[in-house]
């Protein structure tokens, strides 16, 4: 962790191999906010199998958008959000890390996708989010449930499959996570 007890926005939470909660097993969470009231982030490596066009039924141009929607977490599953690495969408967005932005104008997102100004590899659309109450994330970090790294565009956008993205992110942590990616979730599985 950093000098304060709260992680900065853009921190990447990597579920430890011992994480057995099915909502977070082998998950990568981009942390959006963490303060004394709690924390919230978005899981970025759990595709739902649903295309964006199926969710934006009120938007006439969105019908044919086959961009995969990801499960952002178990809370607020009626809430659609998106992360992106497109500077032209950043005006109404929050910069979480270099090249990783949260939100923006949905109209701009849809128009850019429909008109081919950018593609799905630049966007991570999520439904739901991960939320922690006051002190809860700090407790989970102290227990070793999460490893902490930094969000990069490559880790957030380039590896959509859960296992592959998680292993890649673990390798990015260097020596402090060496060999962790091959540990079973439960040591009794050996």
User: What CATH number is associated with residue 24?
Assistant: 3.40.1740.10
- The answer to whether position 185 is within a domain reads no
- The answer to whether position 1 is within a domain reads no
Q: What mean pLDDT is predicted for residues 142-158?
A: 94
Q: How many domains does the chain have?
A: 1
Residue 170: how many other CB atoms lie within 10 Å: 25
- The answer to whether position 165 is within a domain reads yes
- The answer to whether position 176 is within a domain reads yes
d(CA 9, CA 54): 30
Radius of gyration of the chain (CA): 17
- Tell which residue, 172, 169, 45, 65, has the closest CA to residue 116: 65
- The answer to whether position 5 is within a domain reads no
- The answer to whether position 156 is within a domain reads yes
pLDDT at 160 over 80: no
Q: Structure pTM?
A: 0.88
Full residue range of the structural domain in which residue 136 is found = 11-180
- The answer to whether position 4 is within a domain reads no
Cα(first)–Cα(last) distance of the chain, in Å? Answer: 31
d(CA 139, CA 173): 21
- The answer to whether position 84 is within a domain reads yes
Range in 85-89, 136-140, 152-156 with the lowest mean pLDDT: 85-89
pLDDT in tens, 2-59: 445 899 999 999 999 889 899 999 999 999 999 999 999 999 999 999 999 999 888 8
Cα separation values, 162 from 38, 46, 166, Å? 25, 6, 6
């Amino acid at each position: 962790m950093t000098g304060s007890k709260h992680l900065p926005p853009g921190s990447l939470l990597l579920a430890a191999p011992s994480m057995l909660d099915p909502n977070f097993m082998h998950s990568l969470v981009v942390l959006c906010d963490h303060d004394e009231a709690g924390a919230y982030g978005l899981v970025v490596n759990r595709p739902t199998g649903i295309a964006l066009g199926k969710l934006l039924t009120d938007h006439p141009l969105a019908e044919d958008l086959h961009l995969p929607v990801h499960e952002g977490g178990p809370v607020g599953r009626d809430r659609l959000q998106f992360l992106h690495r497109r500077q032209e969408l950043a005006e109404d967005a929050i910069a979480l890390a270099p090249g990783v932005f949260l939100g923006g104008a949905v109209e701009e997102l849809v128009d850019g996708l429909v008109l081919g100004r950018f593609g799905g590899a630049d966007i991570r659309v999520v439904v739901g989010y991960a939320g922690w109450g006051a002190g809860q994330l700090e407790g989970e970090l102290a227990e070793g449930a999460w490893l902490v790294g930094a969000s990069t565009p490559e880790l957030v956008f380039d590896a959509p499959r859960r296992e592959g993205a998680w292993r890649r992110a673990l390798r990015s942590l260097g020596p402090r996570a060496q060999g962790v990616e091959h540990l079973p979730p439960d040591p009794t599985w050996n």
